[in-house]
Structures are given as C-alpha cells and as structure tokens.
Structure 1
C-alpha cells in the first residue's frame, strides 16, 4: 500500500476550440483516474472556461484540502484560469495537456499543448517553480507518487530515541529548519523509555518464535536471546503506543553498556514487519525511509557505502546487522551473532538478495536540503563477513559514485531499496525546491 492522498482535478477549455471533444476525453480520463489506488479524487465536473468557473473550482478544491491539483488543458484557454487556481489553492500542480486530435478540415481542434505552455509560462514568471508537466493520454503516476512523498513526510510522526550516535555530527539536525522545509516536528524520548518498558510474557514469547523462525540462533545464550525478544517487543509496543511513523534510535554506545545488547537484531525483525527504524539516531535517514515507503518501496533500510573495489567496479553496501530480515538472499545462513561490543552487539548476519536497487538520502548541509539518489544492481555473493550487506554495482563507475558522495558531503548513511523509484524523488525535489545530487 502506498501513502493515501487527496488530489483535485479540473479541465480548462475555451469555446472557440472543440470544447465538446475535450469534455468527452475528460470524462474518459476521470474514470481512469478513479481506478488509481490510494487516491481520493476531488473532481470538478464542468469544464472551467471563465474566470468565475475557476474561482468556483478553486474554492471547491481548497475547502476539500487536497494535497495537489491536476490542471488539464482540454483546449487552449484563458491564462487567468490556472493562476486563479494557484492563488486560491496554493498546492503542487500537474499541468496536463491532451494530445491533439486529428484534423477535420478546419482549424486546430484543441490547441491544448499551447494552453499548457501558456500556463507554465505564467506560473514560472509569477515565481512558481513547483509545477510539473505531462502531454499525452495518461496521467503522470510519478508526479502522483511525488505528492505521496510530500504528504507522507509532512504528516509523519517521527520519534528520536536519545540523540545521534557518539561523534556522528553529520547526522545532526536543525529541528526548526526541518519544520520550515518539510513541515515536520520531532518527538524526542530518552533511551530509558525503551529500556524500562514493561513487556508481557505473551509478547516476548511471540517475538521469540518470530526470531527462531527466521534466524539461526545457535551461538546465542538463552539470556541473550531473551533480551533480543524482550527488546523487539518493547520497541514494537513503544512505536505502536506513540503512533510513530518512524523512530530514529541512538543504538550505541549506551545500549550494549546499559541494556546488555545492541538493538540491531530487534530492528532487523521489526523492519521486516514494516516498521521504519533508523539506526544511530539518523533522523534524515529515517525520514527518507518514510518517503520511500510512501511510494511503494518495501522495507527500506539504512546502509553504509563501506568497501570500494575500483578495479572490479563495485561497492559493499554494509551495515553492522540491521537490514530487514525479509531481504535475506534465501541461500546463506541467516543468523544472529555477537561479534562486537564485547559480545553484546547482537546483530543480524546475512547476505542481501540480488536485484535492481536505488539509494536515496534527504540530507541537509550549509543551510540547504538536498536529495541524493543513485541506482545499481545488487549482485550475488557468498557470506564472507558479519553484518548485513550487498555487493552493488552502480550505474556510474564506483570511483565516480564515491567521489560524488564525498565531494558533496552527503552523510555516510543512505537508504537502500529494491526497485526503481528515482523519478518521484526527482519531482518531489523540484516541488520542494531542493537540490538534487544524482
């Protein structure tokens, strides 16, 4: 399921062109729009021809609190119309022009593309850079997904447990800048809110069953395994109780020292169940996972660009053992281990599945918000080390890909997902006025 949104749609026309044909096309397109999942449509039924029509439509959309507006150029039309919609509704706009109809011996029938050009020019010259355009018979689903990202981020309830990890200054955030740029406030909680939480025996036993079903736990003591199960239940109950969309967690050094284990294994289990959990207190990384999930990316997770092989052109996207366990390659031994923090760093250990991947990060630096994006292929590899990892060959040569991250100061965590989702992120960046690094 994608992020649910509400979109408005209206069709502009002028009676000096074939407005009846435009209306027929509009009726067909409306039915196609209604078939799109996870969207509530606010449809302005009559053609919008005069300024008064635009005012009525705009007030309908504004009172309905839509997340975005699709302005269709059914034919050429008055330039006032789209500007009126923009002034009253003030939401991201998709300008959509129908394809020109075959000539019937007279003048051009729709001239819709020219109408779109008029609207784009007016919006641009009035200072609106957030519009997007499409010409054709079908709506732009990537724009719709970009609106899903915007809505998901703005409506997210994001928690921060503790702070960013010790010394990870590049993961620090300016909370009021985040509110200004993204419309989100952060709920902060102490680490003890998880450590001291009471968990029922029923919950612990269910978590134990889930863990044993997924992992080889033969190297763990009974006490350590119970701590993993208890922590899994505690984190799950905490997120559910506070109705958090995502939770960024300061997972070290205090967890191992004071609770007795690190939370990596528990996070792997919960992320495979759809929970959004960011390690090392990475708020922007967690926000990026929320954004990716909003457009259908399944179980996004944080990874480090950890090992680079320039000669063979690949990087190891690794982390200490927190990737969602449903992304296991299905062939290596999927296990829990205690290889760091003096035996208290309980982590998931497995190779991630092969397949096409994207990497993203919403990242702030020098007063700007940037969106980093890259694409590649996770390749098959043997299980050679601890943690969760994938051998990735990027579209760009790895030396170029690495230098791009380093030269622009992108934080050392990126969100990795399976599939192709760059276009919605690109459109979202334009809507928000963010810089893109790609």
Structure 2
C-alpha cells in the first residue's frame, strides 16, 4: 500500500490548576505514558506542565518540535480553563481532552484532583472559543482506561489529518441523466479538502503519453499474478497497466501542496470507446494500494472512501445500494440461518471496482450493462475490464459523508455484515444485512435525500467514524435506529 494516509505521532500535555499540587498532574501523566507503552503505543511526553498561557506556548512548541501532529490534553487535576483550551487553538492538528479519575479512597485530600469537575469547564470554554476537539464517551478514567481511549483516538486523528491535507482529482462531469451523486463542492473547501477538476481529454492525453512505458510489462505481470485463473482477457492487461501508471503519475505530478490524494473519475459512456476498456479493475487496484478511485465522478464518495481507509487502516469500496434480495433466495439461504428479516437484507453492487482481496474469488470480466448499451449485447470488446465476484463475508460499516444542495454536510453510518450467501448475480456484489435496514432505507436514505452510492469499510468502525464526522462539524449523523426508537418523520401508527 502506498503511503497515502498520515502516520500519527501523538503527544500528551498535562495541565494543572495553580491552586492544585502540580506533581499530581505530572505523576498521573507519566502513568498514562507508561500504560500506553505497555499496550504497544508510543506517546511523546511533553515535559512542560501547563498552568498558565506562557506554559501553554512552551508546551505546544515542545510538541511541535518533537514532530507531534496530534495531541492529548490531560487534566491531571481540575486544570486551568483558558490555557488548556488554548492548546487546541495554537496547535495545528487534532486534539483530544481527557481527565484523571481519583485513585484511592485513602487519598482524597492532597491526592484529589477534581478533573471530573474540570472537564465540564473545559468543554464549556472550548465551546465559547468555537474550538473543535475530541472528547471520548467516558473521558475521565484511570491511566489504563485513558491509554485505551488514546488508542481509539489514533484512527480518528489519522482521518482528520488526512482530510486536512487531501486533494481529490476529478475527470469529467457526471454522465447525463445520472446526477444522483452530484453535490456542491463548497463544503469540501470548508473541510480543507482541495479539489482539482480535470477534463476526460486531459486524462486521455496523459494516457496516450504513457504508450510504450517501460514499466508496463512489470505491471502486467503483477496483474496476471493477482488474477490467476481469473485472468480471462490477458490481451487487455497492457492497456489497463498503461492506465494504472497514468493515474499514479498524475497523482504524483499534480498533488501540489497536498500530501494525500483520491480520484473521482468518469467511467462511462465515452470512456470505454476512447480508452478501449472500462477502468473498474484498475480502480480496485489503486484502492488496494491506498488510493481511492470513486466511480462516476462521485466526489463525496471518494472522500467517504478516503475517511474509511484512514479509520479502518484497510481497503474499502464504493457500492450501489442496489437491489432487494428475492423472496425465494431469502427462504432458501437466509431464513432460519441468519437472524435477519427479508427487508433487513439487500444487495450492494458495483460493476467491478472492489479490490481483489475483498472478493471470494475475482475474475476479469466485462461490464454487462454497458455492453448492452454500447456494444448492443454482442461479443464484448471495449466494455471489458471489470473485476467481478461475490464480496467476502464478514462485518461491515456502510456509511457516507455528503453535502446537501445548500452545502450543509450530512452523514450516515450503519453497521452490519455481508452474509456468506452466493448472490447468483454479476459484478462486484454481496448480500448485506443491517438491522432495521427497511426503516433506515426509508427514513434516512430516502427522507434525507442520499444518493445510491455508499462506502463500505470491512469491519465495525462506526464508533471512530462517528467521532470523525462529529469533529468535522457534521451536525446530522444518522444511523440505523433500533426497533422502538422512532425516526423524526416515522409514522408512529404505521
């Protein structure tokens, strides 16, 4: 995998109210660092304990000079409200706030820190200053408990750092009569994401310039090894290798001041005729290398994929929330074997962009839908290039970050699983099961006007994803609410 996500270096700064014993914060800070190290983590201990604004400036400089790009501010006692919140104001990176639990019933005079109280004023002051910060669900704890919370902060910080230094390349406008994933890009600028919108002609010229590239044979060989018996069109591989190198070089040559990249590319209807193939397999290969490539110029899909990549540390994919599971298939394969109703299941599908490593068994095939349209259902030629197969079963998180028409960020997160049931269909596809999916579909996906594309992370990462969206200022974070918990627009008499 390419280094397309940040490496988090965490520092910890202890704060102390000047009317409390400073050594209490310092001793408790040291205990957290030691506990975190025992759990396999590395936490840079900033030795300046913050009691006032001058201490704050010194501590932040110490963290920056040590290369820290994310911080934990630790209230070892009540803490000084102004300088402790100024840490997040002066530090350029995600900041987490936690406080110390009391340690012993035998030491509640000089050994009492009152951080349980101090966290309240800290949160209040952060809000007054309009400073975003990460406060976990249970932010006051022992050294071991806080070490675990700090470990949970790492994927959140990774995503936040990545988004702040991300550039998304786009090629071409969305296909005509297919505007479903189109959304204003202003909200991306508000997040700090850079967008570079390019023409399909730019991509074609760059692709043609890579003809005869000396690296092509090595990429072809790698593709053959990956596909194995699924290499049904070996004659197609040199073209696809040429395209892969085109995208990789484009990213390197055009990322400019940004450190991380993603693509949102037009892939039909002109692309197959102009390039001689469909790009699905290459899109999946770039995702496997750590560079998301969203289909159909879905810019927010690309951003969603990138966030999932950072949070999970694993490949993700982008799928259509596509079709229902037929009753007979449900009765034969799912009913009685898995604890889901028919309407809690659906099929997630795309033409063939899911990485090979996330399929049960993948094969290079052709885009059936485009073949019908562009090649009149005949022998496939330029509609070849999909990577098809059933997606491997396991836990998943289905999610999306999206802008509304009036540029307000919204999002949803739903955890579930892919069932080990054959789909009997084409494309990169799986049978998904999410509790109360029918209600989620109606009162989130439909009611809140989401497009048909959803990102899929392979694991349950909803907790970290929610924290990322919350830190980014997304006020509407929807989820699949359990039975008995009504959605705002849900008919209570239905």
Provide TM-score, normalisation by structure 2: 0.78
| 1:252 positional shift | 0.7
Q: 1:168 to 1:416 in 2, by over 3 A?
A: same
| Residues 73 and 278 of structure 1, relative CA distance in 2, 3 Å threshold | same
Name the counterpart of 2:189: 179
Q: Does residue 439 of structure 2 align to residue 436 of structure 1?
A: no
* 1:214 counterpart SS class: helix
Contact 1:59–1:88, Cα closer than 8 Å, also in 2: no
SS in structure 1 at match of 2:180: helix
Tell me what 1:420 maps to: 460
Matching of residues 266-281 of structure 1 within 5 Å: 266-281=282-297
Could you tell me how far 1:323 is from its partner in structure 2? 0.9
Cα deviation for residue 412 of structure 1 reads 1.3
Q: Match of 1:49?
A: 51
2:217 is the counterpart of 1:205: yes
Query: Which residue pairs with 2:409 in the alignment?
Result: 369
Report the Cα offset of residue 360 of structure 1: 1.9
Q: Tell me how far 1:406 sits from its aligned partner.
A: 1.4
Q: Which moved more, 1:49-58 or 1:27-36?
A: 27-36
**C-alpha distance in 2 between matches for 1:175 and 1:271:** 22
- Residues 5 and 39 in structure 1, CA contact (< 8 A), matched pair in contact too: no
Pairing 1:329–2:360 present: yes
In structure 2, what is the Cα distance between the partners aligned to 1:258 and 1:121?
Answer: 58
Alpha-carbon distance in structure 1 between the residues aligned to 2:13 and 2:56 = 9
| 1:354-393 pair list within 5 angstroms | 354-365=393-404, 366-382=406-422, 384-393=424-433
Measured after TM superposition, the shift of residue 399 of structure 1 is 0.9
Deviates more, 1:138-147 or 1:402-411: 138-147
Deviation, structure 1 residue 263: 0.8
Partner of 1:148: 158
Equivalenced residue count is 433
Task: Report the secondary structure of 1:268's partner residue.
Answer: helix
Unpaired stretches in structure 2, ≥5 consecutive residues: 326-340, 480-494
Residue by residue over 1:356-409, the C-alpha shift from the partner in whole angstroms, topping out at 9 and shown as x without a partner, is 001221110032012221111111122522210111101x32211221211111
**Cα 1:102–1:157, aligned 2, differ >3 Å: closer, same or farther?**
same
Give yes or no for the alignment of 1:74 onto 2:103: no
Corresponding residue SS for 2:460: coil
Match of 1:398 in 2: 437
- Tell me the equivalent position of 1:4: 7
CA contact (8 A) 1:3 1:38 kept: no
Two-structure CA RMSD over aligned residues (Å)? 3.0
Contact 1:11 1:71 in 2 (8 A): yes
Counterpart CA distance in 2 for 1:69 and 1:82 is 12
Show the counterpart of 1:26: 29
Q: What pairs with 1:25-424 in structure 2 (closer than 5 Å)? A: 25-33=28-36, 41=44, 43-58=45-60, 60=62, 67-89=69-91, 92-104=94-106, 107=109, 109-128=112-131, 130-133=133-136, 134-136=139-141, 137=143, 138-139=146-147, 140=149, 141-186=151-196, 188-189=198-199, 190-200=202-212, 202-215=214-227, 216=229, 219-220=232-233, 223-242=235-254, 245-309=261-325, 311=342, 313-330=344-361, 334-339=363-368, 340-341=370-371, 342=375, 343=380, 344-346=382-384, 347-365=386-404, 366-382=406-422, 384-394=424-434, 396-403=435-442, 404-424=444-464
CA apart distance, 1:77 = 3.2
Distance 1:202 1:326, change over 3 A: farther
Q: Is the Cα–Cα contact under 8 Å of residues 163 and 191 in structure 2 kept in the other structure?
A: no
Q: Partners of 2:313 and 2:56 in 1: how far apart? A: 37
- 8 Å CA contact 1:130–1:430 kept in 2: the answer is no
Contact 1:165 1:252 in 2 (8 A): yes
How far, CA to CA, are the matches of 2:281 and 2:81 in structure 1? 58
The superposition leaves residues 236-257 of structure 1 with CA deviations (integer Å, 9 ceiling, x where unpaired) of 4443444562121101111112
Match of 2:337 in 1: none
Q: Give the Å deviation of 1:161.
A: 1.8
Q: Are the aligned partners of 1:293 and 1:299 in contact in 2 as well (CA < 8 Å)?
A: yes
